[in-house]
Amino acid sequence: MNSGIEVVYIVKSAPADIEARTEGILLEQAVELPRSVLRDDFVLNHIVGSVRSIEALTTGEFRVTISHPEGTAGNDPAQLLNVLFGNTSLQPDVLLEDVRIPASLLQTLGGPRFGIAGIRQAVGVPTGPLTSTALKPMGLSTDKLAAICHTFALAGIDLIKDDHGLADHAFSRFEDRVRACVDATKRAAQTTGRQSLYVPNLIGSPSRVLEQLRFAQKAGVGGVMISPMLLGLPLLHEIVRNELTVPLLAHPSFGGALRISPEALLGRLFRWFGADAVIYPNYGGRFTYSKETCARLAALLRQSDDGLPPVLPVPAGGIKIERLSETIAFYGEDVMLLIGGSLYEAADDNALLQRAKSFVAGARN
């Protein structure tokens, strides 16, 4: 049997039932039939996988590791997801905790095109933490968003992205916003001598997202952002492999809708499918990720021993400027700090500029 895809689940079950539950998950994710009706030798030897381990955790909860033959994924990104957590995702007592795939599948997915090194080259900052912020709120006109973008670029923030809520709205059309914000960063660069990257949010149907991507790259953006759980991980893969010429940020929106651990989804799958930087909720902010989860995510994203480039962790979601030193000490140099709301606490435009400059200075020291 050619095994190779290892999937780790957390399963709630009575101890007396856990072996049968595990067998059921194994078969559900491959053949959707009881073992007793399987008579084809190829199916039995090359499609049906095996149970590697069952580990009791707490009362009524088990860690189960199942191995599927590599061929079940069909060398296809969408089918890989189907094998990992297709029908079993419909079972409310099962969580996908982790996944490991062979090198051949990693090469099929391809991973990031730019990674940490490519983003550093794009922003011209070879060492130290990088800075980023978001244009918001939804509802502002294109002119007002571009003015904020200009302020952040004057302050020297490395990467200025759309908030993930900015789409192709009547009050700020996508193409108009891209042109205006690219121009804003260029005008700021004439004053500061360095170019901030403007990163628009791509959102819509697959065909519309591809239109947006092509327009944005032609207009001279420094990167793009998508939410893979809104648009689909296979679309992320296709964009990276066939269309991308600038770094890509992945936003976690809708990432909590499935019972998949942050480490498996954001730390492994987002990187494997092609993100160059991955945004996730930082500890102590508006969300409930722990320090331990954030540390594991950063380590998974920055790993390089699997043959794929390391990517930037982008902690976000309520980081305060006043906690900048603490956050940098926690993550180290290879990180992009995304601070939004803490900057917008400034009383007026000049205060916003000074607060953004303080952010940049704090990251550079």
310-332 average pLDDT score: 95
> Please, what is the average pLDDT of the chain?
96
Cα three-residue angle 135-331-285, rounded to 5 degrees: 50
pLDDT at residue number 63: 98
Instruction: Please name every residue paired with 96 in a beta bridge, in sequence order, or none if there are none.
Output: 9, 260
Whether the per-residue pLDDT at 3 is higher than 80: the answer is: no
Whether residue 335 is predicted with pLDDT greater than 70 in this model: the reply is yes
Residue indicated by tokens 């990167």: 223
pLDDT at 286: 85
5 pLDDT above the threshold of 80:
yes
Give mean pLDDT, residues 208-236.
Answer: 98
Arithmetic mean of pLDDT, 210-220 = 98
Q: What is the pLDDT of residues 137-153, one digit of tens each?
A: 999 999 999 999 999 99
* Mean pLDDT within 256-272: 96
Q: What is the location of CATH 3.30.70.150 in the chain?
A: 3-109
Confidence of residue 352 (pLDDT cuts 50, 70, 90): very high
d(CA 193, CA 170): 34
Q: How confident is the model at residue 59 (pLDDT cuts 50, 70, 90)?
A: confident
- Residue 1 pLDDT greater than 50, yes or no: no
Within the chain, all domains assigned CATH 3.20.20.110 are found at 115-364
pLDDT for position 167 = 98
In this predicted model, what pLDDT tens digit does every residue of 111-136 receive, in sequence order? 999 999 999 999 999 999 999 999 99
CATH of 115-364, one of 2.40.30.30, 3.40.50.620, 3.10.620.30, 3.20.20.110: 3.20.20.110
Query: What is the pLDDT at residue 318?
Result: 86
pLDDT at position 58, please?
86
State the pLDDT at residue 95: 98
- Counting Cβ atoms within 10 Å, is residue 23 exposed (0-12), middle (13-18) or buried (19+)? middle
pLDDT class of 81 with cuts at 50, 70, 90: very high
User: What does the pLDDT read at residue 118?
Assistant: 98
pLDDT in tens, 266-309: 999 999 999 999 999 999 888 879 999 999 999 999 999 999 99
The pLDDT value given to residue 2: 39
The tens digit of pLDDT for each residue in 18-45 reads: 999 999 999 999 999 999 999 999 999 9
In this prediction, residue 260 carries a pLDDT of: 97
Query: Is pLDDT at 355 greater than 50 in this prediction?
Result: yes
Q: What is the CATH number of domain 3-109?
A: 3.30.70.150
